[in-house]
A and B are shown apart, each in its own frame.
Chain A
Amino acid sequence: MASADTWRVGDGAGGAFQPYLDSLRQELQQRDPTLLSVAVAVLAVLLTLVFWKFIWSRKSSQRAVLFVGLCDSGKTLLFVRLLTGHYRDTQTSITDSSAAYKVNNNRGNSLTLIDLPGHESLRFQFLDRFKSSARAVVFVVDSATFQREVKDVAEFLYQVLIDSMGLKNTPSFLIACNKQDIAMAKSAKLIQQQLEKELNTLRVTRSAAPSTLDSSSTAPAQLGKKGKEFEFSQLPLKVEFLECSAKGGRGDAGTADIQDLEKWLAKIA
Chain B
Amino acid sequence: MLDFFTIFSKGGLVLWCFQGVSDSCTGPVNALIRSVLLQERGGNNSFTHEALTLKYKLDNQFELVFVVGFQKILTLTYVDKLIDDVHRLFRDKYRTEIQQQSALSLLNGTFDFQNDFLRLLREAEESSKIRAPTTMKKFEDSEKSKKPVRSMIETRGEKTKEKTKNSKKKGAKKEGSDGPLATSKTAPAEKSGLPVGPENGELSKEELIRRKREEFIQKHGKGLDKSSKSTKSDAPKEKGKKAPRVWELGGCANKEVLDYSTPTTNGTPEAVLSEDINLIRGTGPGGQLQDLDCSSSDDEGATQNTKPSATKGTLGGMFGMLKGLVGSKSLSREDMESVLDKMRDHLIAKNVAADIAVQLCESVANKLEGKVMGTFSTVTSTVKQALQESLVQILQPQRRVDMLRDIMDAQRRQRPYVVTFCGVNGVGKSTNLAKISFWLLENGFSVLIAACDTFRAGAVEQLRTHTRRLTALHPPEKHGGRTMVQLFEKGYGKDAAGIAMEAIAFARNQGFDVVLVDTAGRMQDNAPLMTALAKLITVNTPDLVLFVGEALVGNEAVDQLVKFNRALADHSMVQTPRLIDGIVLTKFDTIDDKVGAAISMTYITSKPIVFVGTGQTYCDLRSLNAKAVVAALMKA
Contact = CB atoms under 8 A, between A and B. Distances in A.
A, B bound: yes
A213 B398 contact: no
Nearest to B398: A120
A152 B39 CA distance: 20
A115 B11 contact: yes
Nearest to A125: B392
Contacts of B393: 121-122, 125
Contacts of B625: 212-214, 217
A95 to B, nearest CB: 4
Contact of A211 (B13, B392, B443, B622): B622
B632 to A, nearest CB: 9
A97 B398 contact: no
Interface in B84-107: 101-104, 106-107
Interface residues of A, number: 43
A235 interface: no
Contacts of A80: 13, 107
Given A83-B107, A90-B13, A121-B398, A209 B102 contact: no
A170 to B, nearest CB: 24
B623 interface: yes
Interface stretch (A6-14, A15-23, A200-208, A253-261): A200-208
A98 B9 CA distance: 12
A124 B399 CA distance: 14
A89 B394 CA distance: 28
Given A91-B30, A212-B622, A155 B107 contact: no
Interface string A199-239: 00110110011111110010000000000000000000000
A121 B623 contact: no
B564 to A, nearest CB: 23
B14 to A, nearest CB: 4
A76 B614 CA distance: 42
Interface in A50-109: 71, 76, 79-80, 83-84, 86, 88-100
B12 A92 contact: yes
A171 interface: no
Interface in B25-40: 26, 29-30, 33-34, 37-39
Contacts of A92: 12, 30, 33-34, 38
Contacts of B439: 210
Contacts of A94: 10-12, 33, 37-38, 65
Contact of A151 (B106, B396, B398, B400): B400
A189 interface: no
Contact of B12 (A91, A100, A202, A212): A91
B624 A93 contact: no
B478 to A, nearest CB: 17
Interface in A150-164: 151-152, 155
Residue of B9, B63, B101, B399 with most partner-chain A CB within 10 A:
B9
B396 A121 contact: yes
B10 A212 contact: no
B624 A213 contact: yes
A99 B104 contact: yes
Interface string B369-393: 0000000000000000000010011
Contacts of A122: 38, 393, 396
A209 B611 CA distance: 10
A263 interface: no
B8 interface: yes
B628 A212 contact: yes
B334 interface: no
Nearest to B598: A213
B397 interface: yes
Given A94-B38, A201-B405, A213-B628, A99 B102 contact: yes
Contact of B34 (A76, A119, A210): A119
B598 to A, nearest CB: 10
B629 interface: yes
A120 B397 contact: yes
Interface in B62-95: 63, 65
Nearest to B67: A91
B612 interface: yes
B402 interface: yes
A151 B405 contact: yes
A210 B439 CA distance: 8
B10 to A, nearest CB: 4
Nearest to A202: B405
B208 interface: no
A88 B14 contact: yes
Given A99-B103, A152-B400, A213-B612, A119 B38 contact: yes
Given A91-B33, A117-B12, A97 B623 contact: no
Contacts of A83: 103-104, 107
A117 B12 CA distance: 9
B322 interface: no
Interface in B548-599: 588
Interface string B386-424: 000100111011111010110010000000000000000
A213 B443 CA distance: 20
A93 B622 contact: no
A257 to B, nearest CB: 20
B485 interface: no
Interface string B430-451: 0000000001001100000000
A48 to B, nearest CB: 24
Contact of A76 (B13, B102, B104, B389): B13
B505 to A, nearest CB: 27
A91 B8 contact: yes
B17 interface: yes
Given A84-B108, A120-B398, A152-B400, A205 B405 contact: yes
Residue of B38, B63, B614 with most partner-chain A CB within 10 A:
B38
B38 A121 contact: yes
B400 to A, nearest CB: 5
B500 interface: no
B621 interface: yes
B10 A89 contact: no
A91 B108 contact: no
Interface string B298-330: 000000000000000000000000000000000
Contact of B402 (A100, A205, A213): A205
A124 B396 CA distance: 9
B516 to A, nearest CB: 16
A197 to B, nearest CB: 12
Given A97-B13, A115-B12, A210-B439, 6 more contacts: A76-B12, A79-B103, A91-B29, A115-B11, A120-B397, A213-B588
25 contacts: A84-B107, A89-B14, A89-B17, A91-B29, A91-B33, A92-B33, A93-B12, A94-B33, A94-B37, A94-B65, A95-B63, A97-B13, A98-B103, A115-B11, A119-B38, A120-B396, A121-B38, A122-B393, A125-B393, A155-B402, A204-B404, A208-B442, A211-B622, A213-B623, A213-B624
What 4 A-B pairs come out closest when comparing CB atoms? A97-B11, A93-B12, A89-B14, A205-B404
